Each structure stands twice: as structure tokens, then as C-alpha cells.
């Protein structure tokens, strides 16, 4: 109940803040699987000029689905705060305390989780945020030896984790062999069935497959190098895919 109050009490300001870039939060919510593919498609079809309407409907859907805990946690994510810095000023506690002074116990029955608010430090009119673990993990300092497109071994740094936009570019280079690629990357036939049932578009199926691969990787192990290594035994791997990943590795190593 406390969580419902937190969302409802701040609903107007949340909607106002998120309306500045509605597509970003929509994609983030979908990435976290807080809404279904059908809900995402319907919301994504709303005209660009109706940003506030999109956000209002998105928030209502999350409230009705009982996903308030995950939504609050998402709103405190480092990347989300970078896009919507005003979210740091939202008060989540029932007694008017900010997210920095209290945590929220949320859930139903015995299945409760605690959302620990992100700490904020203010000084000289500015804000400082502690570097999150996710940011620490994406940079791999230890050089790694990988097999290049020509078959020769070369030493490169692992670089940063692939972004959603980069995964989309990789997905575009894959053809009918994308299901074989999924198996090589450790996904199961059930995963493929679930993806196909949720997405009719083959393009979305390929992208969702790569997003799922990244989500299941250990921290810092979803780089272009890791993806290429996982696909190295795929006989039908498109040349364009190999060249794209190799190019991403070169850029991240500079």
C-alpha cells in the first residue's frame, strides 16, 4: 500500500518528467519486461506530439499490473537518472522523506523486496552520484586475445558492454541463421519459442534474442568480443556480422 501511495502521490510530477523523452522510458520498461510486446507496440504507436498521453498510459498500465516496485527501481537506475535528472528530487517516502533517506519495502505476502534508494550527495550547487557497479563492470582493463576475421590471434581490451542500439545493428546483419546463432550463444529452444510467441516481426525476434543473451551474461561479459567469441563456431555466420563486431571491438579498444 505504501508503494501505491508513493507512485500515486508523485504520479503527476513523474509523468511530467518522463514526458521530456517518452520513448526512452518506454524502451527501458520494455527492456525490463515490465510490459508485454503487445502493450509496447500499442504505446509506441502513439504520435510523437502526444508524449504526455503516452507516459500517462504507461504509468497506468504499470500500476494496474502491480509493477510499482520494479518501476521505482528502474526510475532510480543510473542511466535513467542521467536522462531525467529531475527524478532525483522526487520524494518516495510516505512521510515526505526523499529517496536518499529511506527505503521502501514492497511486495505481497511473504514475497517482499526492499528497494534501496540511490544515495545522493550535493555540494556547491551540484550533484554527485556514486559510480554504479554496472558502470564499473562494463570496462575490462585486462587485455584479451581474440581471433580476428582473418583467423589470426590479436590482443585487444574487452571494451564496453554492447548497448541496445549496437545489438540492434548486429541483429540487422543476421539472416535465417539467427536461431542457430541463438543456440551457439547458449539460449534454449524454449527461449526461441517464447520470443517468437511474443514478437511477430523477425527483426524484433533477432534483437530480443541478443538482448536476452546480454541479460544472462555475467557482469562485464557482454562485449562485442564476447559475442563474436560465442559465434565463432557458427559456420553460417554472415561476413557482415563478423565485420561489424570486429569494428566495434576496434573502436572500444582505442
Reported as a single tens digit per residue, the pLDDT across 106-162 is 343 444 444 444 444 444 444 444 444 343 333 333 444 444 434 433 334 457 889
Q: d(Cα 120, Cα 126) in Å, to the nearest integer?
A: 11
What are the boundaries of each domain within the chain? 2-122, 136-253
CA 62 to chain centre: 17
Condensed to tens digits (0 to 9), the pLDDT of residues 14-64 reads: 888 898 888 899 999 999 899 998 898 888 888 766 888 888 889 889 888
pLDDT, residue 213, reads 94
Calculate ∠ Cα 133-97-80, nearest 5°.
35
Classified as helix, coil or strand, 99 is coil
- Report residue 151 as a C-alpha cell: 583467423
Q: d(Cα 236, Cα 180) in Å, to the nearest integer?
A: 9
Tell me: domain 136-253, CATH 1.10.760.10, correct? no
> Which of 76-80, 90-94, 147-151, 250-254 holds the top average pLDDT?
76-80
| 96 DSSP 8-state letter | S
Q: In which band, very low, low, confident or very high, does the pLDDT at 4 lie, cut at 50, 70 and 90?
A: low
- Report residue 121 as a C-alpha cell: 550527495
pTM summary value: 0.41
Query: H or E element: which one contains 22?
Result: helix 22-31
Amino acid at each position: 500500500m505504501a508503494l501505491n501511495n508513493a507512485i500515486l502521490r508523485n504520479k503527476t510530477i513523474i509523468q511530467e518528467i518522463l514526458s521530456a523523452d517518452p520513448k526512452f522510458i518506454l524502451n527501458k520498461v520494455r527492456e525490463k519486461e515490465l510490459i508485454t510486446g503487445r502493450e509496447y507496440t500499442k504505446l509506441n504507436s502513439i504520435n510523437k506530439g502526444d508524449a504526455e498521453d503516452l507516459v500517462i498510459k504507461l504509468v497506468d498500465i504499470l500500476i494496474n499490473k502491480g509493477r510499482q516496485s520494479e518501476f521505482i527501481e528502474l526510475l532510480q537506475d543510473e542511466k535513467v537518472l542521467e536522462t531525467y535528472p529531475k527524478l532525483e528530487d522526487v520524494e518516495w517516502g510516505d512521510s515526505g522523506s526523499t529517496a536518499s533517506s529511506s527505503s521502501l519495502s514492497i511486495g505481497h505476502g511473504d514475497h517482499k523486496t526492499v528497494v534501496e534508494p540511490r544515495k545522493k550527495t550535493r555540494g556547491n550547487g551540484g550533484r554527485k552520484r556514486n559510480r554504479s557497479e554496472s558502470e564499473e563492470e562494463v570496462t575490462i582493463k585486462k587485455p584479451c586475445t581474440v581471433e580476428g576475421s582473418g583467423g589470426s590471434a590479436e590482443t585487444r581490451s574487452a571494451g564496453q558492454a554492447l548497448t541496445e542500439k549496437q545489438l540492434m545493428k548486429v541483429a540487422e546483419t543476421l539472416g535465417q541463421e539467427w536461431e542457430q546463432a541463438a543456440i551457439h550463444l547458449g539460449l534454449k529452444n524454449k527461449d526461441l519459442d517464447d520470443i517468437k510467441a511474443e514478437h511477430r516481426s523477425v527483426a524484433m525476434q533477432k534483437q530480443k534474442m541478443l538482448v536476452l543473451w546480454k541479460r544472462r551474461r555475467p557482469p562485464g561479459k557482454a562485449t562485442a568480443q564476447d559475442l563474436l567469441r560465442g559465434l565463432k563456431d557458427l559456420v553460417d555466420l554472415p561476413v557482415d556480422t563478423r565485420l561489424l563486431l570486429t569494428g566495434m571491438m576496434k573502436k572500444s579498444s582505442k
